[in-house]
Chain A
């Protein structure tokens, strides 16, 4: 069966510091991968998605970037965090031509 992992689970970072969040998927090959941000427990905003290694599409211009160095690894990064980057970051995957997306447990980021 497929599983999706995210780490860290929680993170507190000062403004201006770098960020790296990691997402990995097990039990599937060549998944589509997605990064979402959720503010105040409502409304998922799609940030990036990837259909393959090295292929990244950005949905919203922002302070963040994404990379996919391996088939089942998706990384969200920032060089300098802003207060507005605080939120709940969710990674998701879909595969096999299906449109269902399956979410990871999320990372709670607080920028101070």
Chain B
């Protein structure tokens, strides 16, 4: 089956710094999604990507759908304390309509 690798596992950054994380797949994805989860809550959708090469922003967040369709990147600029949480990538493959495969998550900790 498809494998989805997300890195890094965790990041400790200072307020104001930029954050980058990525996901790679062993096979082609049609859709990439990025979620953020706060402790004890359900994941919240941040950005959805549907086309190879697509670059989409949501405030200080920017995500890209890789040209090879096997990877995606999420950048957070000028981090603030409320950026703390776990960020998940998710992808929908060519043979798994309606189902998403999730990365293991990137834990982001922001220090003042």
Contact = CB atoms under 8 A, between A and B. Distances in A.
Interface of A: 32, 41-44, 46, 49, 51, 59, 90, 92, 94, 99-106, 108
Contacts of B41: 105-106
Interface residues of B, number: 23
Contacts of B31: 99
B100 A42 contact: no
A106 B90 CA distance: 18
Q: Is the interface of B mostly helix, strand, loop or mixed?
A: strand
Nearest to A41: B86
Given A32-B98, A43-B104, A103 B42 contact: yes
A43 B102 CA distance: 7
Interface of B: 30-31, 33, 35, 37, 39-45, 48, 86, 88, 90, 92, 98-100, 102, 104-105
A108 to B, nearest CB: 7
B86 A100 contact: no
Q: Is the interface of A mostly helix, strand, loop or mixed?
A: strand
B34 to A, nearest CB: 11
B33 A99 contact: yes
B92 A99 contact: yes
26 contacts: A41-B37, A41-B39, A42-B86, A42-B104, A43-B102, A43-B104, A43-B105, A44-B43, A44-B102, A46-B99, A59-B99, A90-B42, A94-B98, A99-B30, A99-B31, A99-B48, A99-B98, A101-B90, A101-B100, A102-B45, A103-B35, A103-B42, A103-B44, A104-B42, A106-B40, A108-B40
